Every structure is written in C-alpha cells, then in structure tokens.
Structure 1
Amino acid sequence: MAIKNYTVEGMTCGHCVSSVKEEVGEVAGVTAVDVTLETGAVQVTGEDFTDEAVKAAVVEAGYKVVA
C-alpha cells in the first residue's frame, strides 16, 4: 500500500474538494483520497497508481498539482 501527498492549487470550496476526490478516486489502483481544502493537500492511498495518472485526474477536475 502506497501513500503519496500532492499539493493542489485553485480549490476554494467544498465542491472543489468533491470534484478532486471524485476524479482522483477513479484512477486505477487508488483506494482512498483525502483532501484538505485549507492547505490544498491531497493524500492518495492505493497500489500501482502513477503520479502522472493522479495529476491528469486533478487537471480533469479543473485544478493544478503544484507539488
């Protein structure tokens, strides 16, 4: 089980959090997504997922991974 942390820019409300959780949660291998609106922190748990797939999912939700 892997846990990776990302920082996402542009989230401003609960809907933003839901969008990111939904898109990242659909990435193959992801089992859990935890988002903290105030800091932009996104913690992803799972197996065999890639940074590229997570970043693409964040972009699909309309936001940007900055770290």
Structure 2
Amino acid sequence: MEYHIQVENIKCGGCINSIKKAVSSIAGVEKVEVNKETETVSVLGGENLQAQLVEKLAELGYPEKGNNNLWLKAKSFVSCAVGRINKED
C-alpha cells in the first residue's frame, strides 16, 4: 500500500535523514521517500500503517499539515540536528 502524508517543518537533508530512519523502523514499512519541496512523506508498506506513520512523524516534530505548534517546531530542530550528525554517506 502507498501512503502520502503532507507534513510541516521539513527544512533540509538532516530532516529527511531523520524521517527516513525513523519511519523505516516501523514494522511493515518497505520504502520511504521524502520530498522537501512539497513536504510530503511517501511510504510503501503493509496495510493499516497510516496512524502509526502520522504518530511517528509527529513524535519527530513533523506533524501533518495544519497540526503544527511551537513544541513540534522545536522537536523538528532536534530531529534535524540528529539527522545531520547521522547522515549516511
């Protein structure tokens, strides 16, 4: 199944790396793609993953469009920094 979730706060490659790593760790996820320009996370995986994906993204600071707040913005900066440090070459 394909899932396309529009999120907030994607700023750079560090954000993308953090999102890919965290979402890939969810059981049933086969492939994760992140489009910075459209702020869309696309996931290929098993059925009934939507709620888990949305929850994981919000935990990282990348909530669905329209659900942003100051706390989530701050969390996204931390996730971004971690993604920059752990960047895969």
TM range (shorter): 0.7 to 0.9
**Partner deviation per Cα, 1:10-43 (whole Å, 9 max, x = no partner):** 1111101111111111111001000011110111
Identity in percent: 32
> Is 1:27–1:49's contact at 8 Å kept on the other side of the alignment?
no
Q: Tell me the TM-score normalised to structure 1 length.
A: 0.87
Higher normalized helix content (fraction of residues): 2
Q: Runs ≥4 in structure 1, deviation > 3 angstroms?
A: none
Following superposition, the deviation at residue 66 of structure 1 comes to 2.0
19 and 63 in structure 1: CA distance in 2 versus 1, 3 angstrom threshold: same
Following superposition, the deviation at residue 48 of structure 1 comes to 3.0
Q: Describe the SS at the equivalent of 1:11.
A: coil
RMSD across aligned positions (CA): 1.4
Q: Tell me the TM-score normalised to structure 2 length.
A: 0.67
Count of aligned residue pairs for this structure pair: 66
Following superposition, the deviation at residue 60 of structure 1 comes to 2.1
Is there any run of 5+ residues in structure 2 with no aligned partner, and where? 67-89
